[in-house]
Amino acid sequence: MKQSLKHKWWEYHKQNPHVYELLKQFTFQVIDSGHQNYSVNAIFERIRWHTEIETRGEKFKLSNNHRAYYARLFMYEHPQHKGFFRTKMTEDEKENQCRNIH
């Protein structure tokens, strides 16, 4: 059985909690600078810059497929910032919606 992107993200998230910590840190910097919304893509590039250039920390892969799930997790945990990241429906959400219709 093929793993869904959401399942792959969740496994990655459990193994790499530092990624979400960085996402929160950089997202709150953007919020504190006055932005009402922002791109999770830009936050991901900031994480890459931070880990590859600024800190030269341990190398790790950061899949672009995980962006949508991190954005949703942030807005779920911080409902006062719901809508900060603009999101499209994920493939998982589309599949669930189709199942609910049929």
Q: Give the phi and the psi of residue 100 in degrees, each rounded to 5.
A: -70, -30
Host domain of residue 41: 5-101
Model confidence at 1: pLDDT above 60: no
- Number of domains, the chain: 1
Provide CB contacts within 8 A for 10, sequence distance 6+: 69
- What pLDDT shows up at residue 2? 66
- What pLDDT shows up at residue 3? 77
Tell me the pTM. 0.84
CB 43 within 8 A of CB 26: yes
- What pLDDT shows up at residue 88? 83
Q: What is the mean pLDDT of residues 65-69?
A: 94
Model confidence at 101: pLDDT above 90: no
List pLDDT tens digits, range 27-52.
999 999 999 999 999 999 999 998 88
Instruction: Fill in the amino acid letter for 27.
Output: T
Mean pLDDT of all residues belonging to the chain: 88
- What pLDDT shows up at residue 48? 92
Residue 85 burial by Cβ neighbours in a 10 Å radius (0-12, 13-18, 19+): buried
Q: Give the phi and the psi of residue 16 in degrees, each rounded to 5.
A: -135, 60
Helix 67-77 vs helix 5-15: angle between axes, to the nearest 10 degrees?
Answer: 70
Percent of the chain topping pLDDT 70: 81
Q: Which residue has tokens 């493939």?
A: 91
DSSP 8-state assignment for residue 85: B
